[in-house]
Amino acid sequence: QVQVVESGGGLVQEGGSLRLSCTISGLTFDDIAVGWFRQAPGKEREGIICLGWSGEPTYYIQSAKGRFTISRDFAKNTVYLQMNNLTPSDTAMYYCAADLGIRKICRPPSRWNFNNWGQGTQVTVSL
């Protein structure tokens, strides 16, 4: 059974940094694609960034470029989202999701196939 668990959220001041972790168990980690998403109160969930099997990141929102990076640790079956220079507009529940299979790439939003989701971790950025 696939399990996706996020951690690392919390309260941070504007301009600060957080590193979120997404640990995925119950599958072969090497070939999957993993995406980070967020949902702010009253807003729709949006994709932030994805890491495919090749290790190349795909950004889904412009505001993440230059501030957020994604990486993975194969030994720990974990994908990280490093977030720098945070602003109050980054306040949201952050989710990690996996697209399972062999040599999975990061698809455009119209073709997303992320069907294994975690419970989320809250990020709050104060002024």
| pLDDT tens figures, 42-101 | 999 999 999 999 989 999 999 999 999 999 999 999 999 999 999 999 999 999 999 988
Q: What is the pLDDT of residues 32-54, one digit of tens each?
A: 999 999 999 999 999 999 999 99
Residues in the chain: 127
What are the backbone dihedrals phi and psi of residue 60, each rounded to the nearest 5 degrees, phi first?
Answer: -105, -15
Nearest of 36, 78, 28 to residue 57 by alpha carbon: 36
Rounded to 10 degrees, the C-alpha dihedral 107/121/81/55 comes to -40
